Structure 1
Amino acid sequence: MKGIRQLAEHLQISTGTVSRALNGKSDVNAETRRRVLAAAEDLGYVPNQAGRSLRQGASKTIGLVLNHGSSVGAGNENFFPLVIAGLQNVLSRHGLDLVLLLCPREENYDAFLRRMVARRLVDAMIITATRVKDPRFAFLTTAGMPFVSLGRSDSALPGNNWVDLDFEGIAERAVLRLFERGHRRIAIAAPASDVNLGKLFLEGYRAGLAKCGLQEEPDYIFYEQALEEGGYRVGEKLLASKKRPTAIVLNAELMSVGLYRRLGEAGLVPGRDLAVIAERESPVGRFLLPRLTCFRLDLDALGRMLAEMLLSNLPAFAEGYQDVPRNRIWPLELVEGESDPPLAAPD
């Protein structure tokens, strides 16, 4: 495949003339245009879409920014693919393509975003994995790059659009459910990072404790990575507790795999010896014994909402999306499993 420079060298004319001929400019005579188009076909010319986008100001492409903490693989196998399906459902109706912008593990998230914006590969962005203090909101606003975020942040500006899961709500509901089932020593596993969902999850947990008249116990808050390994380490900490909790709320469903394993090694049975409620339903939780109690959401609808919010910020499409909310906290419904039965002897 040839680019415009190779095409110009083959025809022995300037790249500017080739470019104008390919774009149908009137200042190129008919014979030159014919030669350029014929050579382009013969040589398999492929236009540089990035260069065309820089000149024309529109790539017809939306970028979904993911980092190594929001993998489309293990841990989110049923999250981002379904959100992406919803996004594409809406964007494709308007002739817009969705591309994934994957931040390398070794690169700083903010530096990666600045690099993507400088290259102007896309017309708008969807950012994820928002942090409590997240400079990307101010940067994208100042840069004039339309965007929507999957997640809130203390750094979000009044005009920014975002959709976020109801992390406070599910943590609070989990605590209330456990309290009603006789539990008084209720622990929580929270992210060992600055992701905003961790702050929200803890706020909901504390609100639930307050409604139940329970005191917060610092020793019952376990900060760990939201993966199987993190769940295993939470199990270690639980077993080492002076007064072991009778229930725990996990901020990530994958943690339950490691937690179940560690409890089993100690001769304990999840559900019987420790009640467990996890943040979100996944294929993993459905195949655990006992089946995990967790929360469910419509991921396809979430993706469609993100797309509609983004389109409401793009002048070419905004008129059709005037009624779309600027911000939305997305609800989740409880999925009852067998991992949190009533406490046999309430404490």
Structure 2
Amino acid sequence: MSITVKEVAKKAGVATSTVSRVINDHPSISEETKKKVRKVMEELGYVPNMAARNLGKQIASAIGVILPPLDSKERLGNPFYLETIESVNEEASLAQMSVAVASAPDFDTLLENVKRMHLQKQVDGFILTYSVNHDPVIEYLHQNQIPFTLIGQPYQYEENIVYVDNDNQLLGKQATQFLIDRGHERILFATNTTRENLYFERFFGYQKALMMANFPTWPAVTFEKPEDYLDFEETLKTIKPTALVVIDDLFAVRIMQLANMYGYKVPENLSVISFNNSIFSTLTHPYITSIDVDVALLGKLATQKLLDQLNRRLSEGVKVIVPHRLILRETVIETELMDKTD
């Protein structure tokens, strides 16, 4: 026999309408009352009829997670997105909501998927896991006033958008300063993306650290075309860097393999530091020195801020910064300990 709302209300000593508001996480109910009612629901084994609730409120009780176009092996294999989905799903389940994922090989198809999810009321709002310039998806969400939270820093509408991010410029600066403090002066920045805002911010931070130390800066070494990988050998020979700042751990693994093929060994004559502290940082030796961006907290806070919008507890743009920490491993050594290359 199923437990009813009336039975929950009677045991909790509240009105049935109060129980309904707790189920819907209504802001008019105090946290103390919510905790008390939820405890009684758990004790009695009460499960809300979500289908009836959703029909009455015309909501889906679902969150859409939008991934960037998965147009490369690096994107497909990047654990950042899987870790984000896992974190969002965990937080959404606490609010008795499910998660749907929007993905596509290109922006046009991705936009169509997002439009369909919204117009068919499959989701109540979205979490956007990337930030690129001239993105038709974020333009559609903003122009149609669809609730969404951005993981990353927006290119525009900063005063209106709710976003959760690390201080990526500070990340780039601190990663580079960490190398400078160990005697490195000829430092390159390597990336396989130049569209995302985190690239610009981390690269600006890299430039800032070197300029403040009165050391030379170079354009970012980009790897977006097949020939870029061949050109890397000439770049190493010409600039003779002692260290690299790499956009993320997954790409750092690729760069280390490439450098090794061209006669460099990490860290013996080339130090490497990257970002995210993903599983790739400790898959093979040498383990990668990396800055942990706390992906789980990014996903958790992004979900909470979206729920705040859905429950009308948040109506204006909000910026939330997630702290980071450097994880020292094996790919960075002091220059005086390095082997000299020809």
Using structure 2 for the length normalisation, give the TM-score. 0.73
- Equivalence map 1:110-189=2 (5 Å): 110-189=111-190
- Equivalence map 1:196-275=2 (5 Å): 196-218=197-219, 221-225=220-224, 235-239=232-236, 241-275=237-271
C-alpha distance in 2 between matches for 1:268 and 1:330: 35
Answer with 129-138 or 91-100: which moved more.
129-138
Answer with 274-283 or 191-200: which moved more.
191-200
C-alpha distance in 1 between matches for 2:218 and 2:75: 35
1:331 deviates by 2.0
Answer with 337-346 or 160-169: which moved more.
337-346
Aligned match of 1:32: none
Which residue of the other structure, out of 267, 270, 274, is the alignment partner of 1:278?
274
User: Contact 2:186–2:216 at 8 Å: present in 1 too?
Assistant: no
- Equivalence map 1:1-347=2 (5 Å): 57-69=58-70, 74-77=76-79, 79-105=80-106, 107-218=108-219, 221-225=220-224, 235-239=232-236, 241-315=237-311, 318-319=312-313, 326-344=318-336
Aligned match of 1:26: none
Per the alignment, do residues 308 and 284 of structure 1 end up closer, same or farther by CA in structure 2, a change over 3 Å counting? same
Counterpart residue type for residue 242 of structure 1: T
CA offset digits 1:34-90 (Å, max 9, x no partner): xxxxxxxxxxxxxxx9xx97996311111111133398985323x333322332233
1:157 deviates by 3.9
Per the alignment, do residues 204 and 307 of structure 1 end up closer, same or farther by CA in structure 2, a change over 3 Å counting? same
Q: Give the match's secondary structure for 1:270.
A: coil
Answer with 85-94 or 291-300: which moved more.
85-94
Please, which runs of 5 or more residues in structure 2 have no aligned partner? 1-50
Per the alignment, do residues 230 and 124 of structure 1 end up closer, same or farther by CA in structure 2, a change over 3 Å counting? farther
C-alpha distance in 1 between matches for 2:218 and 2:264: 23
C-alpha distance in 1 between matches for 2:75 and 2:332: 28
Counterpart residue type for residue 256 of structure 2: Y
Larger Rg: 1
Answer with 229-238 or 149-158: which moved more.
229-238
Give the paired residue count: 287
Per the alignment, do residues 256 and 118 of structure 1 end up closer, same or farther by CA in structure 2, a change over 3 Å counting? same
1:137 deviates by 3.5
User: Contact 2:78–2:250 at 8 Å: present in 1 too?
Assistant: no
1:144 deviates by 2.6
Per the alignment, do residues 198 and 284 of structure 1 end up closer, same or farther by CA in structure 2, a change over 3 Å counting? same
C-alpha distance in 1 between matches for 2:171 and 2:83: 21
1:245 deviates by 1.0
Per the alignment, do residues 113 and 335 of structure 1 end up closer, same or farther by CA in structure 2, a change over 3 Å counting? same
Counterpart residue type for residue 329 of structure 1: I
Q: Give the match's secondary structure for 2:239.
A: coil
Please, which runs of 5 or more residues in structure 1 have no aligned partner? 1-48
1:232 deviates by 5.4
1:111 deviates by 4.2
Answer with 97-106 or 124-133: which moved more.
97-106
Q: Give the match's secondary structure for 1:254.
A: helix
Counterpart residue type for residue 224 of structure 1: F
User: Contact 2:81–2:129 at 8 Å: present in 1 too?
Assistant: no
C-alpha distance in 2 between matches for 1:137 and 1:231: 30
1:192 deviates by 3.6
Counterpart residue type for residue 125 of structure 1: F
Identity, in percent, stands at: 23
Per the alignment, do residues 138 and 284 of structure 1 end up closer, same or farther by CA in structure 2, a change over 3 Å counting? closer
Per the alignment, do residues 69 and 204 of structure 1 end up closer, same or farther by CA in structure 2, a change over 3 Å counting? farther
Q: Give the match's secondary structure for 1:313.
A: helix
CA offset digits 1:189-210 (Å, max 9, x no partner): 1344311111111111111112
User: Contact 2:151–2:298 at 8 Å: present in 1 too?
Assistant: no
Using structure 1 for the length normalisation, give the TM-score. 0.72
Aligned residues: CA RMSD: 3.3
Counterpart residue type for residue 152 of structure 1: Q
C-alpha distance in 1 between matches for 2:264 and 2:75: 31
User: Contact 1:189–1:251 at 8 Å: present in 2 too?
Assistant: yes
